Structure 1
Amino acid sequence: MFEPQLAPVASESGADAYQNAILPKVSRTFALTIPQLPPPLRRAVTNAYLLCRAADTIEDEPVFSAEEKRHYEIAFIDAVTGRIDPQCFAAELAPLLSQKTSEAERDLLSHLPLVLQVTQDLKPEQREAIVNCLKVMSHGMHDFQRNVGLQGLDTLRDMDCYCYCVAGVVGEMLTELLIDFDPALASQRETLMRLAVSFGQGLQMTNILKDQWEDYSRGVCWLPRDVFARHGARLGELQAGQQDANYASALTELIGVAHAHLRRALEYTLIIPAKHAGFRRFCLWSIGLAVLTLRKLQKNLDFSAGDQVKISRRAVAYTVAFTRLSGKNNTGLRWLFAAAARKLPLTPLSAEWSASAHAHLIWPKSAIPYFAETA
């Protein structure tokens, strides 16, 4: 399987054109934020996002068994690293994707060789950051997807680890790409890396809370069972539109946790020098949209579908406008964040999370042996 063969070669401009064309079809948010980055960084981040999306598509494909997902995830990493021919991999995988996978995602997997042409043209340091991220993400997603159900995750710590695997590690990768772009930031690496995990978790938790009922309809729940049990709610018994005060209390606590992580995301952004206005906008717009989503969630704790807490185009436009005006002023940005988040609950992060529960201390070490099996 995946025997090497000569593949059609497209020009670099054709590969870049495909990246730019497919991005808005697979993500509205990142199609808004990534273009704010300076061109060398924009190209690498676009490529990284599309590869992460491809990995996520494999893991989410409902017709694949757990064994098939693991097989294709390992093969995907092999295609990214050049150990197998990506044309053969794409030709085998793409036709197997069901109609439950979006047309844009199927198109992305079909054109994986084009995306990987850009990957191979990146600097070695950029490729290394992307590959390391994909290894942790693919392993972590598989490990969690294999055991998740309507009963939810066991604990909030498990949710932390899941958020790291699908988002925190992406924050670390973006930080590596940023430091490669501006080596002067290397002196801040440790602080940036720590805050990058919170950045990823804040955004991912917001998505989990917003999309919980769509996930529930697919037989999946990423919420922590211990938090809901403490408030007297049972995840396995929840029904959209029939939540009670106990559920609302637990959800409020989790909104507060996401808020706490987004505060750290703001601190991450403010470390970045104002001269990197594009990178700041990339961060600030994501943070702003997440805060507004949390506000809608808090006002609609009895919601039954993600569309009910979706922020409006006008709110997006206001976020873009206000952050543009204040983008270089740290004091102004702190005030803007405080004003947007003033009615949100705030749940202090546990001492365990702050001291040692960063999932990045756990997952990368376990991810490498997983992929070493195919070495």
Structure 2
Amino acid sequence: MNGALLARTKAGRAADRAAAAETLSDDALQAHLLQGVSRTFALTIPQLPPALAKPVANAYLLCRIVDTIEDEVALDSAQKRRFCEQFARVTRGGENPRELRDALAPLLSVATSPAERELIQLIPRVIAITHGFAPPQREALACCVAIMARGMAEFQDRDLRFGLTSLEEMGRYCYYVAGVVGEMLTRLFCHYSPAIACHREELLGLALSFGQGLQMTNILKDLWDDHDRGVCWLPRDVFAEAGFDLRELRPGHGDPRFSAGLRHLIGVAHGHLRHALRYTLLIPPGETGIREFCLWALGMAVLTLRKIHRHPQFTSSAEVKITRRSVKLTIAVSRLLRSSDRGLKAAFALAGLGLPLQPAVPTRPND
């Protein structure tokens, strides 16, 4: 079967699945789509109070649509930019979502997963859910999509084979793909709870670190997977200071200068995750669902940093992926200590024992 025929076959199957999913309730539909595109968020989002779970699930699906456009190998940079800008307008209610769906879906390549194809087919339904939220919630989601779409486009036309220029530029990238999500979640949390809203400004600042810490951890974990596809998100200045040129980056080289640069980035990510703990502790102890939502992500990130630190010569993300046992332990400890600030501080200190620590200053571009 040639590529064009295979793509049409997959598109037809995605349309059939989407038509079947259309009969589901809003909550069931979003749970179904999340299970397909992110099992992690399909697990964590249901821990939130129902009044928050629905907009947060919708927000993740909106962000995943942007990711799908940005990752689509069949689209050139101009097409990606155009579709992302159109999707931002659709999210705000300025354009018809069906027109976007009908233009984008036929262009998806065979590399696009069935779950992502189905998500694209269901853009009109996802957007209908978005437009049913309260105005402050809709604004938070639309603002997040607009900034993410605009920011990710900034990096589309770049030669990323040999890394980003600096740690500051890495922070800017982390903001566009994760920090802006932290801001959006904080706005949703504050809309949900006046007690949380009392700490709004401090939470918004710490949310940037939360997002940057998680994204830096993902960048380090996926280092060699990205390298295989000709992309490097590491900052050249950090490695140059250690005496290593990222143009020489090869799996299995064992260069101690590279390991020194890696340790520095682990330390920065660890610093951001310390700020993430402060963020979590500002959530009232009685909001156990929101605390668990934050703690699961935070705990799994710290354990991932530990694996990377212990195995700096890893050559694939599978080698530093935390085990299911570690995930279950993170969940159990979070549930046990979720209402105890002292206990959570002690657990975090224990989990981060031995990790390097560097100053962590979150980056927010001037949009």
Report the TM-score when normalising by structure 2.
0.92
1:296 paired residue among 288, 307, 313: 307
2:94 paired residue among 72, 83, 87: 83
* 1:188-227 mapped onto 2 (5 Å cutoff): 188-227=199-238
Match of 2:345 in 1: 334
2:112 pairs with 1:101: yes
Match of 1:127 in 2: 138
Match of 1:171 in 2: 182
Conservation of the 8 A alpha-carbon contact between 1:152 and 1:225: yes
Match of 1:371 in 2: none
In structure 1, stretches of 5+ residues that fail to align are 1-7, 366-375
Amino acid at match of 1:146: D
Give deviations 1:326-361, integer Å, cap 9, x for gaps. Answer: 000000000000011102111123xxx3xxxx432x
2:363 paired residue among 350, 359, 365: 359
2:74 pairs with 1:63: yes
1:305 paired residue among 301, 311, 316: 316
* 1:11-30 mapped onto 2 (5 Å cutoff): 14-30=25-41
Mapped to 2, the partners of 1:148 and 1:161 lie a distance apart of: 16
Report the TM-score when normalising by structure 1.
0.90
Q: Which moved more, 1:221-230 or 1:15-24?
A: 15-24
CA RMSD of aligned residues (A): 1.5
Conservation of the 8 A alpha-carbon contact between 2:152 and 2:176: yes
Segments of 4+ in structure 1 off by > 4 A? Answer: 10-13
2:56 pairs with 1:45: yes
Mapped to 2, the partners of 1:95 and 1:231 lie a distance apart of: 47
* 1:114-263 mapped onto 2 (5 Å cutoff): 114-263=125-274
In structure 2, stretches of 5+ residues that fail to align are 1-18
Secondary structure of 2:131's counterpart equals helix
Mapped to 2, the partners of 1:255 and 1:295 lie a distance apart of: 9
Mapped to 1, the partners of 2:34 and 2:347 lie a distance apart of: 29
Describe the shift of the 1:226–1:192 C-alpha distance in structure 2 as closer, same or farther (beyond 3 A).
same
Conservation of the 8 A alpha-carbon contact between 1:164 and 1:197: yes
Match of 2:11 in 1: none
Give deviations 1:143-200, integer Å, cap 9, x for gaps. Answer: 0222141111000000011101110010010000000001232221110000000000
Mapped to 2, the partners of 1:328 and 1:130 lie a distance apart of: 29
1:74 paired residue among 67, 85, 94: 85
Mapped to 2, the partners of 1:197 and 1:79 lie a distance apart of: 26
Secondary structure of 1:255's counterpart equals helix
1:265 paired residue among 268, 273, 276: 276
Percent identity reads 51
* 1:312-331 mapped onto 2 (5 Å cutoff): 312-331=323-342
Mapped to 1, the partners of 2:73 and 2:235 lie a distance apart of: 23
Mapped to 2, the partners of 1:97 and 1:91 lie a distance apart of: 11
Shift of 1:76: 0.9
Give deviations 1:266-304, integer Å, cap 9, x for gaps. Answer: 000000001110000000000000001001101110011
Mapped to 1, the partners of 2:52 and 2:23 lie a distance apart of: 16
Conservation of the 8 A alpha-carbon contact between 2:22 and 2:29: no
Conservation of the 8 A alpha-carbon contact between 1:16 and 1:118: no
Shift of 1:12: 8.9
Describe the shift of the 1:169–1:148 C-alpha distance in structure 2 as closer, same or farther (beyond 3 A).
farther
Conservation of the 8 A alpha-carbon contact between 2:196 and 2:282: no
Shift of 1:87: 1.4
Shift of 1:223: 0.6
